[in-house]
Amino acid sequence: MEKEGSKEIYQNNSVKITVDKEWCKACGICLEFCPQKVLAADEGGKPYPVNLSACTRCGLCELRCPDFAITVEGVEGKKDV
Amino acid sequence: MSKLKGDIELLQGNEACVRGALLAGVRFFAGYPITPSSEIAEGMARLLPRLGGKFLQMEDEIASMAAVIGASIAGLKSITATSGPGFTLKQENLGFAILNEIPCVIVDAQRGGPSTGLPTAPAQGDMMQARWGTHGDHSIIALAPSTVNEVLFLTIRAVNLSEKYRTPVILLLDEVIAHMREKVRLPLPEEVEIINRKKPTVSPEEYLPFKPEQDGVPPMANFGEGYRYHFTGLIHNQKGLPTTDPQEIDSLIRRINDKIQANIKDITFLENYSLDEARIALVAYGSVARAAEGAVKLAREKGLKVGLLKLLTVWPFPSEEVNRLAQQVDLIVVPEMNLGQMVLAVERAVGGKCKVVSYSRVDGELITPLEILEKVEEEIIKK
Amino acid sequence: MKRDIEYYLRREAFPHIWCAGCGNGIVLGAILRAIDDLQWDKNEIAMISGIGCSSRITGYVDFCTMNTTHGRALPFATGIKMANPEMKVIVVMGDGDCSAIGGNHFIHAARRNIDLTAIIVNNMIYGMTGGQYSPLTPSGRFGTTAPYGNIDQSFDLVKLATAAGASYVARGTVYHIRPLISLIKKAFNKKGFSVVEIISDCPISYGKMNRMQSAPEMLKWIRDSAVSSKVWENLSEEEKKDKYVIGEFLDVEKPEYTELYAMVVERAQKLEVGK
């Protein structure tokens, strides 16, 4: 995990998930509805990937995030959602 | 109503208002039918499209005021017209326009009230509604013509003042002024002074929509011109975004009041009749000022030293001039078609320097010159 | 070219004021993704709102924006559109804002068929004032002003907008997020008055009064109560209670108001209007 301001970046060879810890309000929507159960809650209820390799980059967490706090990108740089 | 310039015409007050607005560059009207102002909407419906302007009949008075504000923000000089009951409904969005400093003009052709009141009879019962109708501390400019010619020129001035000071301006007619016909010489377009809102001189990135210049007035970019910013009915900072910072709140509320008060000399229009050496002054406005002028003539014939101060600007109230008058005369009589609204402002301005009495009529009938003279004589006997 | 959503946001205003899990942010995201897909120029977009939680949307986006008075967003937007028909005008309203205090403006904007897109965030409650029932709160549900259950019938905004004269009418939800973006995009592209009602969640004011404790729980309820037209048609009246039919309901071509007014201008300038 890398940090960039309030953002935490998680990355493997194919996917990069960024969580803005300041904007996130720990509503739990991304955790509940991730089809691959990629995300888990930290002690504050905010998401981090526990199973990054299972991510299919469907982007539903990003699209349903009410706080613009989570993004999913392909590692080539282009967004894939 | 087919010609737009340079003629002498017999015009109704409401028609003169339409002509004045068009000469001043108004290109948008939104309204809702209401007596005795409907001829303004009708005239606008006919003439605006000929000039490439837009006319909208909205679903109600509230919507009309909203549309006028929207159109002004999009860059068109905008006006609406109504009467007391509609003016009450407009107060909601009038407050929005005051807080957001949107140039626009609201014509209120006053009729008897309260409520539906007397739709076809004159009154001056909305003077305080014009000043304090919308909630919260705010400033307002209100003008009150007493002849059809004045309707024409004060409409032009109302539009100009709204642009100059980024504020709504109210034009207070009454049923008599709205419906009477008088000879008017329409100025040529080149004779009409036009004032346009100040535009920003900085780039969109640097622009702060509520940052005032020296005169207290911020330059205004229209929507669609490359400046993206926010309007809100919430108290806002110079960027236009909501704020809860006490200092920012205080400075905004004070500024939107001060920008009018600080420029009161530029905003005030008054006329004096026989005030030199007068010992008694009448202070009047609107159609009552006509009767007051008649009363002055009758009084002078009788050797009574009576004069008239006619208020063309009623808000902000010309306190300084009225106070000066109080130092000259022994008595000020304020005839009004209400139970004494502007007399309160007169008393406040006079501050005990002379006697102030009110003369009221609220029966839907005009005040006559003779009545005013009788009131003056009655006061003289009391002394 | 796809852009980061942040390109459209006023970053300095974030994090936004909405509660955790509030659907307003989801709706905002859907609107911005639709705009991004259409590659609209930010300078040409006016976004207008009224009063309520959802109306705070306009403060967060980098367009020409206005947070107006309660229920009045549509007439403000009408003035802007008439004055400058080139602008793309989007109006965002809440359920109480649009259908109670703004109900008259809503039907008249539809009647004029003026080229605006009305997006109604329907969370079935007055959220900002603390959970009072709205004209879109279903019968039998609870609000702070309906502590014994709501006895009012609720409006069907889709039928209302259709009957009043709109050109495009759709209903989506914050759960069905990809279809929602498509519906919004179609509405934006429509010449005429277009309406997208979005079933949204208010976990704080609506959820807690109606036995749903969290945003995920509310989104599940939205997922489970939304049905397609086909399913809807075969439901009994009893089964329809508490269910929502989603999808597209109207998509017609008819004369648009600013275009009609342009013809008025042409006619007025051609005709000699006599005394």
Mean pLDDT calculated for residue range C244-263: 98
Model confidence over B327-338: pLDDT tens digits? 999 999 999 999
* C25 with A66: Cβ contact below 8 A: yes
The mean of the pLDDT values for chain B is: 97
Mean pLDDT calculated for residue range B115-126: 97
| Chain A residues with CB-CB distance to C214 below 8 A | 27-28
pLDDT of B136 over the 90 cut: yes
Quick check: A68 contacting C, CB < 8 Å? Answer: yes
State yes or no: cis peptide before C135, omega within 30 of 0: no
Alpha helices in chain C (DSSP H): 23-38, 73-83, 95-96, 103-112, 157-164, 177-189, 215-225, 229-233, 237-240, 257-270
Torsions phi, psi for C185 (to 5 deg):
-60, -45
Which tops the pLDDT comparison, B3 or B298?
B298
ipTM associated with this complex: 0.97
Which pLDDT value is given to residue C241? 84
| Chain C residues with CB-CB distance to B74 below 8 A | 46, 79-80, 83-84, 87
pLDDT of B86 over the 50 cut: yes
Residue C193 tokens, joined: 């008055």
List the one residue out of B140, B152, B146, B132 whose CA is nearest residue B174: B146
* C174 with A26: Cβ contact below 8 A: no
Model confidence over C226-248: pLDDT tens digits? 999 999 999 999 999 879 999 99
* B242 with C59: Cβ contact below 8 A: yes
Q: Provide the pLDDT confidence category of residue B1 given band limits of 50, 70 and 90.
A: very low
* C181 with A29: Cβ contact below 8 A: no
For residue C142, the distance in angstroms to the closest alpha carbon of chain B comes to 30
Model confidence over A23-62: pLDDT tens digits? 999 999 999 999 999 999 999 999 999 999 999 999 999 9
Q: How many other CB atoms sit within 10 Å of the CB of residue B199?
A: 11
Q: Which domains occur in chain B, in start order?
A: 8-191 (3.40.50.970), 270-382 (3.40.50.920)
Q: Provide the pLDDT confidence category of residue C89 given band limits of 50, 70 and 90.
A: very high
Model confidence over C141-200: pLDDT tens digits? 999 999 999 999 999 999 999 999 999 999 999 999 999 999 999 999 999 999 999 999
Which pLDDT value is given to residue B2? 47
Which pLDDT value is given to residue C242? 79
| Nearest-5° Cα angle at C33, C111 to A70 | 135
- The answer to whether residues B185 and B8 touch, using CB atoms and an 8 Å cutoff, is yes
Nearest Cβ partner for C79 among B67, B232, B242: B67
Dist. CA B203–CA B192, nearest whole Å: 32
pLDDT of B46 over the 90 cut: yes
Dist. CA C130–CA B263, nearest whole Å: 44
Give C270's strand partners. none
Nearest Cβ partner for A27 among C21, C33, C181: C21
Quick check: A35 contacting C, CB < 8 Å? Answer: no
Dist. CA B158–CA B230, nearest whole Å: 26
Q: What is the identity of the amino acid at A13?
A: N
Question: DSSP string covering C79-138, please?
Answer: HHHHH-TTSEEEEEEEHHIIIIITHHHHHHHHHHT-S-EEEEEE-SSBTTTT-B--TTSP
* B224 with C86: Cβ contact below 8 A: yes
Mean pLDDT calculated for residue range C97-115: 98
Quick check: C149 contacting A, CB < 8 Å? Answer: no
Dist. CA B336–CA B128, nearest whole Å: 13
Domain ranges of chain C: 5-270
Q: How many other CB atoms sit within 10 Å of the CB of residue B21?
A: 31
| Chain C residues with CB-CB distance to B229 below 8 A | 64-65
Q: What is the identity of the amino acid at C104?
A: N
Which pLDDT value is given to residue B383? 74
Options 3.40.190.100, 1.10.150.120, 3.40.50.970, 3.40.640.10; which CATH number does C5-270 get?
A: 3.40.50.970
* C21 with A29: Cβ contact below 8 A: yes
Contacts 24+ apart (CB under 8 A), B18-22: B18/B43, B18/B44, B18/B47, B19/B43, B19/B152, B19/B155, B19/B184, B19/B186, B20/B151, B20/B152, B20/B153, B20/B154, B20/B155, B20/B156, B20/B159, B21/B79, B21/B105, B21/B155, B21/B156, B21/B159, B22/B47, B22/B48, B22/B51, B22/B53
pLDDT of A76 over the 80 cut: no
List chains adjacent to chain B, taking adjacency as at least 3 C-beta pairs closer than 8 Å. Answer: C
| Chain B residues with CB-CB distance to C76 below 8 A | 66-67, 69-70
Residues 6+ apart with CB under 8 A from C114: C78, C81, C82, C192, C193, C256, C257, C258
Nearest Cβ partner for C216 among A25, A32, A65: A32
Count of CB pairs separated by less than 8 Å, B with C: 149
- The answer to whether residues C115 and C256 touch, using CB atoms and an 8 Å cutoff, is yes
pLDDT of C273 over the 60 cut: no
* A68 with C23: Cβ contact below 8 A: no
Report how far apart the first and last C-alpha atoms of chain B are (Å, whole number): 53
* C87 with B230: Cβ contact below 8 A: no
Q: Which domains occur in chain A, in start order?
A: 2-74 (3.30.70.20)
pLDDT of A81 over the 90 cut: no
Q: Provide the pLDDT confidence category of residue B6 given band limits of 50, 70 and 90.
A: low
Mean pLDDT calculated for residue range A69-76: 91
* C219 with A29: Cβ contact below 8 A: yes
| pLDDT over 70, % of chain A | 93
Which pLDDT value is given to residue C180? 98
Q: Provide the pLDDT confidence category of residue C275 given band limits of 50, 70 and 90.
A: very low
Mean pLDDT calculated for residue range B343-350: 98
Quick check: C114 contacting A, CB < 8 Å? Answer: no
Identify from B69, B80, B92 which residue to disrupt to test chain C contact, counting C C-beta atoms within 10 A and taking the largest count: B69
Alpha helices in chain B (DSSP H): 13-23, 38-47, 61-73, 84-100, 127-132, 148-165, 175-179, 246-261, 264-267, 286-301, 319-328, 342-350, 369-382
Quick check: C174 contacting A, CB < 8 Å? Answer: yes
Mean pLDDT calculated for residue range B56-66: 98
Model confidence over B281-307: pLDDT tens digits? 999 999 999 999 999 999 999 999 999
Which pLDDT value is given to residue A79? 52
Which pLDDT value is given to residue A77? 53
Model confidence over C24-66: pLDDT tens digits? 999 999 999 999 999 999 999 999 999 999 999 999 999 999 9
Q: What is the identity of the amino acid at B340?
A: G
List the one residue out of A74, B228, A78 whose CA is nearest residue C40: B228
Which pLDDT value is given to residue C2? 81
Dist. CA C265–CA B122, nearest whole Å: 35
User: Mapping DSSP to helix (H, G, I), strand (E, B) and coil, where does residue C240 land?
Assistant: helix
- The answer to whether residues C25 and A66 touch, using CB atoms and an 8 Å cutoff, is yes
pLDDT of B3 over the 70 cut: no
Which pLDDT value is given to residue B7? 85
- The answer to whether residues B210 and B237 touch, using CB atoms and an 8 Å cutoff, is yes
Quick check: A66 contacting C, CB < 8 Å? Answer: yes
For residue C161, the distance in angstroms to the closest alpha carbon of chain A comes to 27
Count of CB pairs separated by less than 8 Å, A with C: 69
Mean pLDDT calculated for residue range B353-364: 98
* C59 with B30: Cβ contact below 8 A: no
| Chain A residues with CB-CB distance to C215 below 8 A | 27-29, 66
- The answer to whether residues B281 and B110 touch, using CB atoms and an 8 Å cutoff, is no
List the one residue out of C264, C202, C86 whose CA is nearest residue B74: C86
